[in-house]
Structure 1
Amino acid sequence: MTKVFENVKSFMVGLLDLSLLFIAIGVVWQILFGADNSWYFGHVTENMMNLVNSFGAQGVAGVIAMLIFLYIFAKSSDKA
Protein backbone atom coordinates (compact mmCIF):
# COMPACT_ATOMS: atom_id res chain seq x y z
CA MET A 1 0.00 0.00 0.00
CA THR A 2 2.90 2.34 0.71
CA LYS A 3 4.20 1.75 -2.82
CA VAL A 4 0.87 2.94 -4.25
CA PHE A 5 1.04 6.18 -2.27
CA GLU A 6 4.63 6.74 -3.38
CA ASN A 7 3.62 6.23 -7.01
CA VAL A 8 0.73 8.67 -6.69
CA LYS A 9 2.96 11.18 -4.93
CA SER A 10 5.65 10.97 -7.61
CA PHE A 11 3.00 11.36 -10.31
CA MET A 12 1.59 14.47 -8.62
CA VAL A 13 5.07 15.99 -8.23
CA GLY A 14 5.72 15.36 -11.92
CA LEU A 15 2.39 16.92 -12.83
CA LEU A 16 3.20 19.97 -10.68
CA ASP A 17 6.59 20.34 -12.35
CA LEU A 18 4.99 20.11 -15.79
CA SER A 19 2.36 22.71 -14.94
CA LEU A 20 5.03 25.09 -13.59
CA LEU A 21 6.93 24.64 -16.84
CA PHE A 22 3.85 25.63 -18.84
CA ILE A 23 3.32 28.67 -16.61
CA ALA A 24 6.92 29.75 -17.12
CA ILE A 25 6.62 29.30 -20.89
CA GLY A 26 3.39 31.32 -20.87
CA VAL A 27 5.01 34.19 -18.96
CA VAL A 28 8.00 34.29 -21.31
CA TRP A 29 5.68 34.09 -24.32
CA GLN A 30 3.63 37.05 -23.08
CA ILE A 31 6.75 39.09 -22.35
CA LEU A 32 8.15 38.46 -25.82
CA PHE A 33 4.99 38.70 -27.92
CA GLY A 34 2.49 40.57 -25.74
CA ALA A 35 -0.76 39.44 -24.16
CA ASP A 36 -2.77 39.88 -27.37
CA ASN A 37 -0.67 37.33 -29.26
CA SER A 38 -0.84 34.53 -26.72
CA TRP A 39 -3.77 32.55 -28.11
CA TYR A 40 -2.70 29.33 -26.41
CA PHE A 41 -1.54 30.53 -23.00
CA GLY A 42 -4.29 33.07 -22.39
CA HIS A 43 -3.49 35.82 -19.94
CA VAL A 44 -1.05 34.05 -17.63
CA THR A 45 0.47 37.18 -16.12
CA GLU A 46 -2.95 38.77 -15.54
CA ASN A 47 -4.21 35.60 -13.85
CA MET A 48 -1.12 35.45 -11.63
CA MET A 49 -1.61 39.08 -10.58
CA ASN A 50 -5.27 38.37 -9.79
CA LEU A 51 -4.21 35.41 -7.64
CA VAL A 52 -1.70 37.50 -5.69
CA ASN A 53 -4.23 40.32 -5.29
CA SER A 54 -6.88 37.90 -4.01
CA PHE A 55 -4.45 36.63 -1.37
CA GLY A 56 -3.70 40.22 -0.34
CA ALA A 57 -7.37 41.23 -0.25
CA GLN A 58 -8.11 38.62 2.40
CA GLY A 59 -5.90 40.31 5.00
CA VAL A 60 -4.05 38.18 7.54
CA ALA A 61 -5.78 34.96 6.45
CA GLY A 62 -4.68 35.59 2.87
CA VAL A 63 -1.09 36.21 3.95
CA ILE A 64 -1.08 33.00 6.00
CA ALA A 65 -2.56 31.06 3.06
CA MET A 66 0.06 32.50 0.73
CA LEU A 67 2.86 31.57 3.15
CA ILE A 68 1.53 28.00 3.34
CA PHE A 69 1.35 27.88 -0.46
CA LEU A 70 4.93 29.14 -0.78
CA TYR A 71 6.14 26.67 1.87
CA ILE A 72 4.60 23.74 -0.02
CA PHE A 73 6.04 25.03 -3.31
CA ALA A 74 9.53 25.47 -1.82
CA LYS A 75 9.35 22.03 -0.20
CA SER A 76 8.49 20.38 -3.52
CA SER A 77 11.20 22.39 -5.33
CA ASP A 78 13.88 21.24 -2.89
CA LYS A 79 13.18 17.57 -3.64
CA ALA A 80 13.49 18.01 -7.40
Structure 2
Amino acid sequence: MGNIRTFIRSIIDLALVVVALGVVLQILFPQALVFINADVTANLINLINQFSGAGLVGAIAAGIVYYLISRS
Protein backbone atom coordinates (compact mmCIF):
# COMPACT_ATOMS: atom_id res chain seq x y z
CA MET A 1 0.00 0.00 0.00
CA GLY A 2 2.90 2.34 0.73
CA ASN A 3 4.37 1.77 -2.73
CA ILE A 4 1.07 2.67 -4.37
CA ARG A 5 0.84 5.90 -2.36
CA THR A 6 4.41 6.80 -3.27
CA PHE A 7 3.74 6.12 -6.94
CA ILE A 8 0.52 8.17 -6.98
CA ARG A 9 2.23 10.99 -5.08
CA SER A 10 5.06 11.07 -7.64
CA ILE A 11 2.53 11.16 -10.49
CA ILE A 12 0.72 14.09 -8.83
CA ASP A 13 4.02 15.92 -8.28
CA LEU A 14 4.93 15.42 -11.93
CA ALA A 15 1.51 16.65 -13.07
CA LEU A 16 1.83 19.80 -10.95
CA VAL A 17 5.22 20.54 -12.47
CA VAL A 18 3.84 20.05 -15.99
CA VAL A 19 0.89 22.36 -15.29
CA ALA A 20 3.16 25.03 -13.80
CA LEU A 21 5.50 24.74 -16.77
CA GLY A 22 2.54 25.05 -19.15
CA VAL A 23 1.35 28.23 -17.43
CA VAL A 24 4.81 29.80 -17.50
CA LEU A 25 5.37 28.88 -21.15
CA GLN A 26 1.95 30.18 -22.14
CA ILE A 27 2.63 33.49 -20.41
CA LEU A 28 6.11 33.88 -21.91
CA PHE A 29 5.37 32.53 -25.40
CA PRO A 30 1.62 32.74 -26.07
CA GLN A 31 1.81 31.90 -29.78
CA ALA A 32 4.46 29.19 -29.50
CA LEU A 33 2.23 26.62 -27.80
CA VAL A 34 -0.12 25.91 -30.69
CA PHE A 35 1.12 22.29 -30.83
CA ILE A 36 -0.39 21.55 -27.41
CA ASN A 37 -3.88 22.65 -28.54
CA ALA A 38 -4.89 23.48 -24.97
CA ASP A 39 -5.24 26.80 -23.19
CA VAL A 40 -3.70 26.00 -19.81
CA THR A 41 -4.50 29.31 -18.14
CA ALA A 42 -8.10 29.32 -19.39
CA ASN A 43 -8.58 25.80 -18.08
CA LEU A 44 -7.24 26.80 -14.66
CA ILE A 45 -9.50 29.86 -14.60
CA ASN A 46 -12.49 27.68 -15.50
CA LEU A 47 -11.59 25.25 -12.71
CA ILE A 48 -11.39 28.08 -10.19
CA ASN A 49 -14.71 29.49 -11.42
CA GLN A 50 -16.35 26.08 -11.01
CA PHE A 51 -15.08 25.81 -7.44
CA SER A 52 -16.24 29.33 -6.59
CA GLY A 53 -19.61 28.92 -8.31
CA ALA A 54 -20.50 25.84 -6.30
CA GLY A 55 -20.81 27.72 -3.01
CA LEU A 56 -20.05 25.82 0.17
CA VAL A 57 -19.54 22.52 -1.62
CA GLY A 58 -17.01 24.18 -3.93
CA ALA A 59 -15.17 25.69 -0.97
CA ILE A 60 -15.01 22.29 0.72
CA ALA A 61 -13.80 20.64 -2.50
CA ALA A 62 -11.16 23.35 -2.99
CA GLY A 63 -10.02 22.82 0.60
CA ILE A 64 -9.71 19.08 0.04
CA VAL A 65 -7.73 19.61 -3.17
CA TYR A 66 -5.45 22.09 -1.40
CA TYR A 67 -4.92 19.65 1.47
CA LEU A 68 -4.05 16.81 -0.89
CA ILE A 69 -1.60 18.93 -2.86
CA SER A 70 0.10 20.60 0.10
CA ARG A 71 0.55 17.57 2.32
CA SER A 72 3.96 15.96 2.21
Note the residue ranges of structure 2 that are not aligned, 5 or more in a row: none
What pairs with 1:12-51 in structure 2 (closer than 5 Å)?
12-34=8-30, 36-38=31-33, 39-40=35-36, 42-51=38-47
Moved over 2 A (4+): none
| Deviation by residue 1:51-73 (Cα, 9 ceiling, x = unmatched) | 00001111111111111111111
* Structure 1 position 67 matched with structure 2 position 63: yes
- State the secondary structure of the residue aligned to 2:28: helix
Cα distance in 2 for partners of 1:41, 1:13 equals 27
Aligned-residue RMSD, C-alpha: 1.3
SS in 2 for 1:37: coil
* Amino-acid identity (%): 37
Q: Distance in 2 between matches of 1:23 and 1:41?
A: 14
Q: What is the TM-score with the length of structure 1 in the denominator? A: 0.81
Return 5+ residue gaps in structure 1 as ranges.
Answer: none
Higher radius of gyration, 1 or 2: 1
